[in-house]
A and B are shown apart, each in its own frame.
Chain A
Amino acid sequence: MMEPRNPGMSTVPQTAAAHTDSSTPAVEMDPVEYTLRKRLPRKLPKRRNDVYVNMKTDFRAQLARCQKLLEGGGHREICVHGLGLAINRAINIALQLQASSQGALQLAANTSTVELVDDLEPEDPDEAGEPMTRTRNNSAIHIKVFYPDPQ
């Protein structure tokens, strides 16, 4: 699960020691002396009709993008993904799309758990702290917004 995919990510300017994934978290950790750094969620599939919702982009811009995909882009379905706090926004976008389509669009939501990796890096390079990683879980939602097939 923790493939050494981003080895360069965890090197910080002030720590000369290169971080390897083999470092064992045997030491008792004092959270004060570590910098917690969140890695990006791993493995994000991206098709043309995948939309990853975040909390940084303006909501209307993200909504407009979805609308463009469905109306202008000629997609019969798009997939709206949201992780953690962005779940709410993803749901909102999907429901807004559905509401503005006058019922033409349908929603199919799936939920999942995404494993996230945090890097713990010693604050002070002089102290003998080892870089560590810690995994945690976060919830995610994947909403398929689609025109149902006429049958």
Chain B
Amino acid sequence: MFTGCGVVSGQNQYLTRDAVRPHPGLEASRPIQMENGVTPGMCPVYQTYSNAGQPAVVNNVSAALKTAPLPVPLSALKLGQEGFKKVCRTEEDSPCPFPGLASGVLEMRVKEGSKIRNLMGFAMARMQGEKGVSGGGLSDGGLRQVVFTGSGRAVTKTITCAEIMKRKVGCLHQLTKLRYKVVKEVWESTEGGNSEMTVHRTVPSISILLSKDPLDPQEPGYQPPETLSALWEEREGAEPASQTACKRPFGPLPHGSFPNCKRVCLGEGVSVLPPH
């Protein structure tokens, strides 16, 4: 199954301008150049899950957009192949996944193109309360809580940020929530027609609350501090096997001999139980 392939084409020439991603949640339609091709079809699932395209009514796209003929992203979207381009993309407002959370909590919205060093530089400074930075903070020691959210392909980065912060700050209670987020996309025909389509698609999103104060351990998704390795240790008694979730090798690295690794490893004497 494809994995959001083809996104690369048509994306590169816009990436240079993409230093600042359009902020989600803005209702206005944004210039397409920023986003086109960058975020289509992140994962196969919600393609099948909900791809309810409905002919739309709106027709408020500025003519300037039409003058720039964009290469249609060769994305997984059928829309793209049928001569449509994405005009705008808005994430629908969803309620805070952590009910009862104080209002002034720092929320880090991780995007696909966010740089971890930027995110972490900002978040760590706020959490550690350096130099008296305390906008909305509770007290001297910096903020007590921070929320990392990300959706689609930014999920991995979101987790990485949370993991880095846990490692650096220490003694953080964690609450992780998963859900689908609805994203509304407006597509417009590239063939000069006036037709537009609005697509509601659902992308998986993650929200991670990190708190210096204890959280409710009964809440699903709660993780006490310092469980970095305990997650794996606690299942030590389970039957050993070497079925893996190994990563597909990326990039230009020579990895032709990867299967070789696997074979040798399997021959290590670990009993291989094929999952039933």
Contacts and interface: CB of A to CB of B under 8 A. Distances in A.
Nearest to B230: A112
B176 A52 contact: no
Nearest to B268: A6
Given A59-B45, A83-B247, A95-B179, A9 B156 contact: no
B247 A87 contact: no
B232 to A, nearest CB: 6
Contacts, number: 169
Given A96-B45, A110-B176, A40 B246 contact: yes
A82 B248 CA distance: 13
Given A37-B257, A142-B231, A113 B163 contact: yes
Contacts of A143: 178
Contacts of B46: 92
Interface in A103-144: 106-113, 137-144
Interface in A35-88: 35-41, 43-48, 50-56, 58-60, 65, 81-88
Contact of A87 (B45, B156, B180): B156
B241 interface: yes
Contacts of A39: 261, 265
Interface of A: 5-6, 8-9, 12, 35-41, 43-48, 50-56, 58-60, 65, 81-89, 91-92, 94-96, 99, 106-113, 137-144
